[in-house]
Structure 1
Amino acid sequence: MPTESDRIELSEHELREIAGYAADCARRALSIFEQNLPADTRPRDAIYAAPAFAGGGRRTGALRQSAWAAYRAARDAASPAAADAARAASHAAAAAYLHPKASAHQVKHILGAAAHAARAEELASEEGRRATARTTLVWARHHAPTAVTAVLGRLPAAPPGGGRVGEIIRDLDAALRA
């Protein structure tokens, strides 16, 4: 098992697949944010910047800024579900900046969009909150490209803490490694 100080191999192809996957995960919860703040395009912009990178675009300052803008949109959201949907979008754009470092923290960068989207859907659900998150996690597990599981296999397991989102990350991490 790698230690925190080790560097891992991380190809550009893997980075692009991870960013595309993160965007797909975040897109599932975008409507939750947009119902809350329909005129605020920051999360949508971040979600659509990630597949542009995944499809061959460059990692630019604009991509990084879209991640930060979506993160700031989470603070403006009027509901916890909308805030998590915006955080999912932020993680989608930020996935392009995953570090080739054997750190458990990097697991959060790979699976953060999926976990925040699941939490947003869980909070927005009127019935069966945990069941809603499980459904989202099953979707996320089945749609994870090979690059996600390959890179996770080079990293330590997801770290403890992080509240409910951290729990979701650990559940998804364990499922993808199984």
Structure 2
Amino acid sequence: MELDLDELRALTSWAAACAERVLPLIPDDPRPAAAITAAREFAAGGPRTKALRTAAWAALAAAGSAADPAASAAARAAVGAAGAAYLHPLESPHQVKHIVGPAQQAALARELAGGSAEAEVEWALSQAPPEVRVLLHKFPPGKPGKTRLGELHHRLESALRD
């Protein structure tokens, strides 16, 4: 399987847009915002650099240190946005988590903050470029999860595959 940079840039752009919507849920930590900025730079044509990976790891640390579960999920959405540039060309359902993860975490963050996960999912689906759908079809389907996060994953993946 091959993944080209245009596909990865489209995915990363969409992932960053999803994550950015819940960024206000973690206002006091600049690391998730920095990860989204790094993701946007790659999506706009920049190279995949160590700085992009470093920003993703820093956002993951922010997720781990956030006391509020909504803030933690928002930070994880940013991690996924920065990490989307590094999607692996492995025919594994695990890679699907990296495709839908930012939207999934954004929906969870919205719900944990008292909003509607479904509205967030619908927004993400409406914004997904055709390249994301094509990219997703290169990977085998994942299994529905038993947790709320798994439900959101299944909802996003199923709709993107239709």
Confirm or deny that 1:153 pairs with 2:128. no
Note the aligned Cα RMSD (angstroms): 1.1
Between the aligned partners of 2:150 and 2:62, the Cα distance in structure 1 is 21
User: Of the candidates 10, 19, 25, which is equivalent to residue 17 of structure 1?
Assistant: 10
SS at match of 1:13: helix
Between the aligned partners of 1:91 and 1:133, the Cα distance in structure 2 is 17
Structure 1 residues 1-178: aligned runs within 5 Å: 8-34=1-27, 38=28, 40-125=29-114, 132-161=116-145, 163-178=147-162
Between the aligned partners of 2:153 and 2:133, the Cα distance in structure 1 is 14
Cα shift at 1:163:
2.4
Cα deviations by residue, 1:63-95 (Å, 9 ceiling, x for unpaired): 001001101101111111010000000000000
Paired residue total: 162
Between the aligned partners of 1:79 and 1:18, the Cα distance in structure 2 is 28
Cα shift at 1:170:
1.1
Cα shift at 1:169:
1.1
Cα shift at 1:162:
6.9
Between the aligned partners of 1:162 and 1:88, the Cα distance in structure 2 is 20
Cα deviations by residue, 1:106-158 (Å, 9 ceiling, x for unpaired): 11101100000000000001xxx5xx111111111110011110011111112
Check conservation: 1:26, 1:117, Cα contact below 8 A. Answer: yes
Match of 1:54, as an amino acid? A
**% of aligned pairs identical?**
51
Between the aligned partners of 1:136 and 1:165, the Cα distance in structure 2 is 13
Cα shift at 1:159:
3.3
Match of 1:31, as an amino acid? P
TM-score, normalised by the number of residues in structure 1: 0.88
Task: Point out the structure with max Rg over C-alpha.
Answer: 1
Match of 1:112, as an amino acid? G
Match of 1:26, as an amino acid? A
Between the aligned partners of 2:4 and 2:121, the Cα distance in structure 1 is 26
TM-score, normalised by the number of residues in structure 2: 0.96
